[in-house]
Structures are given as structure tokens and as C-alpha cells.
């Protein structure tokens, strides 16, 4: 029995020795620990780099957006004032058009003053990006820049042609301030 115990003891010793060898093999070496730490630090670095690049892109997009908003405010910020000045233009134009030759002779200085004021107003409009939309009789009606005030059948015209211009329209750069007010032919083509 002692032999058996001795054999069992040796078997147990061999098993313990094998477990110890496995445990030694399972423990990471310094190189493996360093590689794991490097992988963790590299992943952290990549995450911070990604966050930094996103923050940089957000800042650039914000700068571009603020530049665009500033330019838009510069170009279109005065549109309400410009719209309010259009009737002044219309009234001065009507005053000049209604003056007869006799009135022009009698009040030459007054008429000249109105003409100069009108020219200066048009120059200021041009300086600030305001341009007139001046359709002519016979032009094709364009709903993007014209407002039909009435339709009338007029012989010798095609449907959709402008037959009368009631008031000029105006653009502020690429935006419509006021459409040109026109009469349109309704004669079938």
C-alpha cells in the first residue's frame, strides 16, 4: 500500500508540476504587458485625434457659416429700407414723366433738380446692388419677375405677352424686391 501511496503521491506531484507550468505560461510576460499597454495608449491617441479632427472641422464649418451669414446680412440686411424707398423712385419718375414741355420751360431748374435727385437715387441703388426690372411691351410674361395686374384681349398679340407696364420691378442682387407690375395679353395664340 505504501507503493500505491507513493505512486499516487508521484502522480499528484506530476499533476501539480503540470499545473505550475501552465500557470507560469499563462502569466503574461513583460513584453506582452508592454504591447497591451501600447495598444491601449494607441487606441486612446486615435480617439483623441479623431475628436480633435472633428472639433477642427466643426470650427471650420462654423467659421464658413458665420462668413456666409455676415455676407448675407451685408447684402440683404437693408432690403426693408430698399423696399421702402421704391415708392420714392416711382413718384419721382411719375413726376418727371408727367411734366409737359411748357412746364419744363417754366420750371427748368425744378425739373433739373428732380432729374439730378432721381439720378443720384438710381446711383445709390446701383451701389447697393439694387437693379431695375424694366420689361418692354411685347416681352414674354415671366412670373418669376413680373406681376400680372390685369389680362386683356388685345388684337395682334399672343397670349402671355406684356401689353402694358404699370411699374418697374427691382432686384436686390439675386433676390426679388418687387416684381414689375404689368398687363398681359389674354388673346389665344
pLDDT tens profile 39-71? 999 999 999 999 999 999 999 999 999 999 999
pLDDT number for residue 165? 94
Q: What is the pLDDT of residue 12?
A: 76
| Short-list 87, 107, 172, CA closest to 133 | 172
Q: What confidence score (pLDDT) does residue 22 get?
A: 67
Pairing of strands 146-152, 180-185: parallel
Q: Tell me the C-alpha distance between 127 and 175, whole Å.
A: 16
Residue 85 burial by CB count (10 A; 0-12/13-18/19+): exposed, middle or buried? middle
Task: State the Cα torsion 4-10-15-17 to the nearest 10°.
Answer: 170
Class of domain 77-185: mainly beta
Predicted pLDDT at 78? 85
Q: What is the DSSP letter of 44?
A: H
Structure confidence at residue 39 (pLDDT): 92
Q: What nine digits make up the cell of 157?
A: 398679340
Across 113-133, average pLDDT: 95
Q: What is the pLDDT of residue 66?
A: 95
From CA 176, how far away is CA 145, in angstroms rounded?
A: 7
Can you tell me which residue has the cell 499545473? 19
pLDDT of residue 26: 60
CA distances from 78 to 73, 81, 178 (A): 8, 5, 14
Q: Which helix (H) or strand (E) holds 90?
A: helix 79-98
State the pTM of this model.
0.65
Cα 141 from Cα 188, distance rounded (Å): 14
Amino acid at each position: 500500500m505504501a507503493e500505491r501511496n507513493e505512486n499516487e503521491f508521484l502522480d499528484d506531484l506530476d499533476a501539480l508540476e503540470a499545473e505550475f507550468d501552465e500557470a507560469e505560461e499563462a502569466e503574461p510576460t513583460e513584453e506582452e504587458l508592454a504591447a497591451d499597454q501600447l495598444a491601449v495608449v494607441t487606441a486612446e491617441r486615435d480617439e483623441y485625434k479623431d475628436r480633435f479632427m472633428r472639433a477642427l472641422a466643426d470650427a471650420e464649418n462654423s467659421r464658413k457659416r458665420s462668413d456666409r451669414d455676415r455676407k448675407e446680412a451685408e447684402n440683404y440686411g437693408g432690403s426693408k429700407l430698399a423696399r421702402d424707398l421704391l415708392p420714392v423712385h416711382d413718384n419721382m419718375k411719375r413726376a418727371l414723366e408727367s411734366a409737359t414741355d411748357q412746364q419744363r420751360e417754366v420750371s427748368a431748374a425744378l425739373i433739373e433738380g428732380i432729374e439730378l435727385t432721381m439720378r443720384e437715387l438710381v446711383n445709390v441703388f446701383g451701389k447697393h446692388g439694387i437693379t431695375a426690372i424694366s420689361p418692354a411691351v411685347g416681352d414674354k410674361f415671366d412670373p418669376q419677375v413680373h406681376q400680372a395686374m390685369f389680362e386683356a384681349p388685345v388684337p395682334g398679340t399672343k397670349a402671355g405677352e406684356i401689353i402694358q407696364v404699370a411699374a418697374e420691378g427691382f432686384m436686390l442682387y439675386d433676390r426679388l424686391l418687387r416684381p414689375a407690375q404689368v398687363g398681359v395679353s389674354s388673346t389665344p395664340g
